[in-house]
Structure 1
Amino acid sequence: MNDERRLLYGLVAAGFHLVVAVLVVAAAVVGLAPPAWTAAMSVVWLAVLAVGVPRRRRTGMILGLAIGTLL
């Protein structure tokens, strides 16, 4: 897979993670979800990231470089 495609997949994945994080935090702030559910969701989401990120080392590196050049 070429670097441009990896970058696109990385950006889509980062956007998805950002949207889920915003939804979880917004649900907790507004009171739509109990605090225990929000804490459990945060732990599960961090576990998913901890398992997924090492499998995508090169994509993560390319994504980090791309975001770094945009800043």
Structure 2
Amino acid sequence: MAYYAVPGNTDAVSAFRYQMARHWLKALRRRSERSRLTWKRMGRLETRWLPKVRAMHPFPDVHFAART
């Protein structure tokens, strides 16, 4: 996520994180005979194992101002 988490792209990265969690939930439910995994529990797994979405790089004008 560090490569794509540039300013202005956080909505797309958030959507990617959501879809990743959704597919992970489906895979975990498929592997179990009795699916007890709910969205509430999946949310706890998601916050523990998937990084938060945040802009990893500054805006270009801030980045260039630091160099010159």
TM-score tier by shorter-chain length is: 0.3 to 0.5
Structure 1 length as normaliser, TM-score?
A: 0.42
Structure (1 or 2) with the greater helix fraction: 1
Q: TM-score of the superposition, structure 2-length normalised?
A: 0.43
Larger radius of gyration: 2
